[in-house]
Structure 1
Amino acid sequence: MSRILLKAFLGLLMRVLYRPTVEGARHIPGSGPVILAGNHTTFIDSLFLSLVVERQVYFIGKDEYVKGTGLKGRLMAWFFTTSGMIPVDRDGGNGGVAALMTGRRVLEEGKVFGIYPEGTRSPDGRLYRGRTGIARLALMTGAPVVPFAMIGTDKVQPSGKGVPRIAPVTVRFGEPLDFARYEGMDRDRYVLRAVTDEVMSEVMRLSGQEYVDMYATKARQAKAA
C-alpha cells in the first residue's frame, strides 16, 4: 500500500512539475519477466523510470542508501526500498555476483528489473560501453530486454547539484530484444559482448547520445586524474 501511495503522490508531483513525455511504453509486456536497460546520466533516473512504468520496477542500489541513522536515515531507507530499490553491497569482492543473482531472482519471479549496463552514471553525458551483466541476465532467464533512453534528466539534476531543476524530460522505450538464439551460451564471452553491444546500440539510437567505446568508470578515473 505504501508503494502505491508513494507512486501516486510522486507521480502527481512529477506530472505537474515536469510533464514528462513517455514514448513506446506499449513495448513493455504487461506481465512476465522483463529487463529494462537504459542510459544513466543522473541520480534521479531510477525515480523517473519507476514513475512512468505502470508495473513495479525493481533495481539494484548501494546498500549505503539504507544504512543511514536517525530520522533522515530511516526516511531515506523507506523511500528507496518503497521505490523498488534492492540494496546490495556492490563495493565488496562479490558485489557484481550479488547484483547479478539479485536480478536473476527478480526476473525468475516474473517481475520487471531495471538496469544500467554502463554500470555507473555517465561522467559527461555521453553513452559508454556496456558491461556484460545485462547479457548474462538475459541469457540465464530468457527475459526479453526492452531498451530505454532517459532524455533531459541530466538537466533536471546536473552533476554536483543537489536541488532538482525544472526541465523537460522524455523517457523513450524501444521494441523488446529477444536473445533466444543464444540460449545456453551465457558463459561465452564473445556472445555476451555481442548481446551487450546490441543492447547499447539500441540505447544509443533511442537517446541520440554520442557513444564512447570505453567503460564509464575508466573515463571517470581519467577525468579525476
Structure 2
Amino acid sequence: MREIVLDTETTGFDPFAGDRIVEIGCIELNNHVATGNTFHVYINPERPMPEEAFKVHGLGDDFLRNQPKFAEVGQKFLDFVADAKLVIHNAAFDMKFLNAELEWMNLPTLPMEQALDTLEIARKRFPGSPASLDALCRRFGIDNSARTLHGALLDSEILAEVYLELIGGRQPGLVLSTSHADQGADNSGSWRPKPRPEPLRPRITEAEKAAHAAFVEKLGENSLW
C-alpha cells in the first residue's frame, strides 16, 4: 500500500484572500515503511511574503523570487502523489490550498477522500488532549528538536513517525482500542493495566480439586508430568 505523508507551507491562511503555497514536502511510504523517495520544492508565491509568515517559515522574498512558480511544478506534484493516500495533519487546510492552486492552473484537483487526516485520528484516540504535531511528538517521544522553523519536508518526516505511532507503530494491525484506557491517562501516551482490587474467585470446587488430586496420585511417580 502506497501512502504519501504531505505538508505545505503558505503565506497565510486563505488562498481565496490572496495567500499562496511557498513549499511542498512529501515522504513516500510503502506498507507503512519509508522508501526514501521524496518530493520537495520551494515555490515562488508571486506575492510578498508577510512578516508573520516569514517569522514562522524563515522564507524571504529574495529566496522565493528565484524559485519556480506553482504552474511549473503542479503536474510533477500530481505525478508523484498519483492515487496514493495522502497523510496530512489538518488535511482540510493543505487540501484547500493545493486544490486552489491546481484549479488555477487548470489541473485535476485532489478529492478529499484521498486524504487521511492525522489530526482527526489523534483527537479520536486522545480526546481532550493537545493534538498539534509538537504535542504528539512529546506524547510519543519523537525528537523534533530540529523543528525551530516550520519546513514542509522536515514536518513531513516528523509526521510520518507520528502517523506510525497513531496507527500502532510498524504493526498497525495490532492497534487496540483506547476508548477506556485513555480516560484519565497521563500525557506520556503509555498505558498499563492496574492490579485488580480483589482477586478473581476460584472456579474449581473442592470436589473437583479432590478428584484431580486422586487422579494424579494414580499416575504414579513415573508419569511424565
- TM value normalised by structure 1: 0.26
Which has the higher Rg, Structure 1 or Structure 2? 2
- TM value normalised by structure 2: 0.26
